[in-house]
A = this chain, B = another copy of it.
Amino acid sequence: MAWNAPFPGRLPSGPALERSVGAKTIRLCKNKDFLLAGQFCRCAYINHDGWLFRYKILHNGSRQIVDFVLPGQIFGIQAVLFRRALYSVATITETSLSAVAFDLLDDGLDRNPRLLKALLWSAACEGAMLGEHLIDAARRTAYERLSHLLLELFVWLRAVGLTEGGSFHMPLTQELIGDALGLTTVHVNRTLRALREDKLVGIEGKVVTIRDFEALALLSDFENSYLGDAVRAIRDELMASDDGEPSAGS
C-alpha cells in the first residue's frame, strides 16, 4: 500500500537509522513547552507516539499554531539549519521523542545520504502541509477549514495505524483548533456543531468519527496531492468497513 512507500515525515527505517546517527530517546509530559522560538538548536526530533504543536506568539499576543506534530512526524529540521528554532514547540499529550543531532556543515553527514534524504522528504512534506494550511486560512470558510483539518488528521493517523474504522482519538481543545485554523474558540464550537448536525462527523468527547469522507473531501478540496494515493486507498477501505458500521460505533 501507498503508505509503506517513502511516507511524509516518516523515516524510511526508524530504529536502525537512529542507531546509526546516535539518537537519544526523550520522554515528555503533556502540556509542556519543549522548544522556545529563538532557542539555539542542534537536534531534529522524531515524534513516536504523542501529539505536539509548533506555534508562534505575535506582538498582539495571539497565538498561531503552525501545525500539529502527530505520531511518526519529524520536527526541528529548520531549527538546526537556521541554528535556532523558528517556532516554539509544546506537547499536547505525553510523548516520547528521539533526538537526532546533526550538522549540515559537518562532513559526517555527507556519508549518510539516507539521513539527508529522510530530512529532505520530511521538509518537503512539511512544506506541502503548510501550503494546505495556508489555503485553509486564506481561502476557506470555517466550515471548510474544520473539514480539512479533521481529514488531514484522520488520514495521517490512519496511515500510522491509529484509527479504528472511521474514528480516532483527538486530544485537542477547541482553543488549540482555533489557534491552528485562525478562528476563535467560539466559532470553532459553532462550526463543529454545524458539522455534527450535518452528519458529516461525529464527536463524542475526544473521539472523532468521520461520517462522510466524500462530502468532507469535496467541500474542503481535500485531494491532498501529497497524500493522494494514500487517501484514495483509505477512502476505499472506509467505504468497505462503513457498510457494516464498524465496532467503534460507540
A120 on interface, CB distance cutoff 8 Å: yes
B124 x A64 contact (CB < 8 A): no
Chain A facing B: main interface SS: helix
Provide the bound-state CA to CA distance between A59 and B216, in Å: 13
Provide the residues of chain B in CB contact with A121, threshold 8 Å.
81, 104
Question: Hey, what's the 0/1 contact readout for A158-176 against B, CB within 8 Å counting as 1?
Answer: 0000000000000000000
A35 on interface, CB distance cutoff 8 Å: no
Task: Say yes or no: A225-B86 contact (C-beta < 8 A), given A78-B124, A121-B81, A124-B77.
Answer: yes
A117 on interface, CB distance cutoff 8 Å: yes
Question: Hey, what's the 0/1 contact readout for A77-119 against B, CB within 8 Å counting as 1?
Answer: 1100110111100000000000000001000011001001101
Supply 7 A–B pairs (Cβ within 8 Å), ascending by A.
Answer: A59-B218, A64-B135, A64-B138, A120-B120, A120-B123, A123-B127, A136-B138
With A82-B128, A82-B225, A104-B121 given, name 12 new contacts (CB 8 A): A6-B104, A59-B219, A59-B221, A64-B134, A64-B138, A85-B225, A104-B117, A113-B116, A123-B123, A130-B134, A136-B138, A137-B137
Q: Which residues of A contact B (CB under 8 A)?
A: 6, 37-38, 56, 58-59, 62, 64, 66, 77-78, 81-82, 84-87, 104, 109-110, 113, 116-117, 119-121, 123-124, 126-128, 130-131, 133-140, 181-182, 218-219, 221, 225-226, 228
